[in-house]
A and B are shown apart, each in its own frame.
Chain A
């Protein structure tokens, strides 16, 4: 139990379909982050929230990507019109006991066929 739950763990979809991932931190965390990781690479920052406010978005986050954190608790990441290049592990992280200390969820693995 990592303290951050992600759903679904795996998603296989066809190119052009929309997908949505959900992240639930178990306890209250002010800051919530989304990262993307591909094989052989480190996690790449996508976006983060301070409570319900989305404070920063990476240039990696094209207009097909949208993230929300409507009540400052759980968050969703939606990818519209998926492309094969979107295939990756999408990691959610909550800032934990110390500043800048991130607790990651197990990730949602996306495969776009």
Chain B
């Protein structure tokens, strides 16, 4: 089983749509969780951390379910500029390093 698994995608959605990405991780010792965004031919950049209580940043909401080892990212009111690959990221172990990246889910928001 892969350490981090994500929806294969790609997701093609119209502007204004709500889209959700799912991610599961295999190591129950993982302590920290993140979503990174990667634009085409660019480096990954931190989108948001994921906290146990769930957290929201504008149109983006991240949820963590430790019991199910499941992470989600919800994007509301999608914009064209949201088109990118979204990478689910977890720490490998209780030592909190290194970060393990999922394969990524590509999102295309269409006008």
Query: Which residues of A are at the interface with B, using a C-beta cutoff of 8 A?
Result: 2, 31, 33, 35, 40-45, 48, 56, 91, 98-102, 104-107
Q: Count residues of B near A (Cβ-Cβ below 8 Å).
A: 20
- The contact of B104 among A42, A45, A104, by CB within 8 Å, is A42
- Which label, helix, strand, loop or mixed, suits the secondary structure of the A interface? loop
Point out the residues of chain A lying under 8 angstroms from B96, CB to CB: 99-100
Q: Chain A residue with minimal CB distance to B101?
A: A42
CB distance from B41 to the nearest CB of A (A): 9
Point out the residues of chain B lying under 8 angstroms from A40, CB to CB: 103
* A91 lies within 8 A of B102 (CB): no
* B103 lies within 8 A of A104 (CB): no
* B43 lies within 8 A of A91 (CB): yes
- The contact of B87 among A33, A42, A101, by CB within 8 Å, is A42
